[in-house]
Amino acid sequence: MNSKIIIWAKNNLFNTWYNAVITLFLSYFLTKAVRSMVQWIFSVSWVVIPRNLKLILTGAYPVDQLWRIWFILLVGTFLAGISYSLLKKGIRGTVLVLILVPALLASLGFSHVSRMYLLSLSICQVVGYLSGKYLFGGKAVIIAAVGWVIFVPFIYVMVNGFTGPEGFLPLVRTNLWGGLLLSMIISITSIILSFVLGLFLALGRRSELIVIRYFSIGVIEIIRGVPLITLLFLGYLILPLALPANITIGVLLRAMAGIVLFHAAYMAENIRGGFQGLSKTQYEAAYAMNFNKFQSMVLIILPQVIKNIIPVLVNSFTGMVKDTSLISIIGLLDLVGISTAIAANPEFMSDSQQVLLFLSLIYFILCFSISRTSRKIEASMNYDK
Amino acid sequence: MKEDIIIKSRGLQKWYGDFHVLKGIDIEIKKGEVVVILGPSGSGKSTFIRTLNHLEEHQKGELFVNNIEMNHNIKNINKIRSEVGMVFQSFNLFPHYTVLQNIMLAPVWVKKVSKEAALEAAMTLLKRVGIEDQAHKYPGQLSGGQQQRVAIARSLAMKPEIMLFDEPTSALDPEMIKEVLDVMIELAHSNMTLLVVTHEIAFAKAVADRIVFFDEGVIIEQGTPDQIFNNPKEDRTKLFLSQILDH
């Protein structure tokens, strides 16, 4: 084993004198960089993270209403558990990690209530998995699909509340939403809505009706020609001017409209690429069998188009998650916005680097899990093996 | 129009841009007839059978399929398509559905047959084409010959009056051609109307009631296999036959 590494290093890193020099040179700097990084990590105080964890995760969301966020997570992990039971094998490792992470987090120094919730997240996944496998049987697919579809509006209802200032689910105004919660809500909304809108724009661009076609082309090209930040400012500053005085739209909604429109235009082009990549013979087979246009599209064409563009879609999705950080510019307190706010607190003024690093870690975990999940989905959709 | 004539085409013409691909096709095909269409590539034979289910649109002339006129009326097109099955050169199975789903999809969604009935019919058809053991595989996991047999079963599931075959064996490895032809021969003996564009002379000789020879967008000559293969009248037919027979 040890000699194998030596032989490999000899062949690849020290095979010529100049490679040897480069290797030594680079390893010197790498070691130095890593060493000083590690030194820094252990020398600074990280107390800023636990002290502000609630802010980073949920912003100014009322503490006595936090159970609603936990409840969303519990329902989500239960649905995830059902979904695991449907996926093909080869994901046991991932599932195990997903189940163990909350349990491990629970062993850290959180409050008793948080620990209880975290443990419940693990339990919910296991219960979901078991009930998907042994209780629901053939209906698990339908339960999971319907569950996920209802889940998104459910998030809104739970976070926003509907019973007015008092009652079971009191209204929590959007200016109190913040941190990871806000970033996630915007990400999920923009991923779903921009995909749907992009799909319609892509279909519109292929339409035989000239008005629809040129309208779609116009929308796509105009939006693609404008930077996202400009669209956000347009929504923030110009949109209120264009609306009648008695109609006001919240900042969050205006920001989301900008993000969704922007990504829909790119999504439309991705989907169009998928349509072009699909052989014309699939349409012919569908028409020859007397499927109407709608059936051909939904049953035969779209599933193949979407499968083919999963890598591109996922690329866009991770881009969207990161792009949500731009909304901090118009004053919304998402992950980036809240960390700026924390750094502005005199008590933590010198700790902004730690917050930034922690933030990067959160974004990395989010985007990395999206791309990992998509690989699994892609593999499970491979029909040739 | 006589009762037993199922396809009637008069003066059928079509252009691809400037290219005049069909220059007036007149033909009548009887119910239950097995017609093999021969001709060099680019002669319009595939285009002709594709006009019969409106995958291609003719621009001049008249076309009646099962006494329904082929025109722009979407109702007529749908009625005709429900009577006409088609098998393609490259199979064109739906890769994201299993064999069974490929066969059940149209009966369930287009004809609104119940899932149970469609499943039963699909299994019967798979037995008929000899691949019931592959029912739960995806097309990509099957050989070309097996895929083409699934494609035939898929068309038959719609219970068509007429089956069109557009070079069904051209994309197959030689050792797989026979298994597909055997299914087609069985079909030919089952009293279904078949129009087959193919270069398989042995098949034509064995089952065709009539051979139609196409060249440059017109029908040059037609007759029984005996007349066409042993006693062709036109020089172009003789030339074509000599080219495909002596190699």
**Has residue B1 got a pLDDT over 50?**
no
Determine the average pLDDT of the residues in A211-222: 95
Sheet containing strand B218-223, strands side by side: B84-87, B162-166, B193-197, B34-38, B210-215, B218-223
CA distances, B158 to each of A133, B104, B111, B163, B219 (Å): 36, 9, 8, 11, 30
Which among A310, A298, A381, A385 is positioned nearest to B139, based on CA atoms?
Answer: A385
Tell me what the pLDDT averaged over chain A comes to.
89
pLDDT tens by residue, A330-355 = 888 999 999 888 988 888 888 888 99
pLDDT tens by residue, B105-127 = 999 999 999 999 999 999 999 99
pLDDT confidence band for A162 (50 / 70 / 90): confident
Chain A interface mutation, best of B46, B90, B91, B105, highest count of A Cβ atoms under 10 Å: B105
pLDDT tens by residue, A277-320 = 999 999 999 999 999 999 999 999 999 999 889 889 988 999 99
Lowest mean pLDDT among A85-94, A223-232, B55-64: A85-94
Chain B interface mutation, best of A289, A298, A310, highest count of B Cβ atoms under 10 Å: A289
Query: Which of B96, B139, B158 has its CB closest to that of A289?
Result: B158
Q: Report CB contact under 8 Å: B94, A300.
A: yes
pLDDT tens by residue, A116-153 = 999 999 999 999 999 988 888 788 889 999 999 999 99
What's the pLDDT at B247?
A: 56
pLDDT tens by residue, B74-105 = 899 999 999 999 999 999 999 999 999 999 99
* A287 contacts in chain B (CB < 8 Å): 53-55, 81
* B110 contacts in chain A (CB < 8 Å): 289-292, 295
Q: Report CB contact under 8 Å: B110, A291.
A: yes
Query: Which of B84, B86, B109 has its CB closest to that of A291?
Result: B109
* B88 contacts in chain A (CB < 8 Å): 281, 284-285
Determine the average pLDDT of the residues in B157-173: 94
pLDDT tens by residue, B183-193 = 999 999 998 99
Determine the average pLDDT of the residues in A258-273: 94
User: Can you give the pTM of this predicted structure?
Assistant: 0.85
Determine the average pLDDT of the residues in B57-67: 93
Which among B64, B58, B30, B62 is positioned nearest to B44, based on CA atoms?
Answer: B58
**Has residue B58 got a pLDDT over 90?**
yes
What's the pLDDT at B246?
A: 66
* A291 contacts in chain B (CB < 8 Å): 106, 109-110
CA distance A283 to chain B (A): 9
3-state secondary structure of B239: helix
Which chain A residue's Cα is nearest to B143?
Answer: A384
Determine the average pLDDT of the residues in A102-108: 86
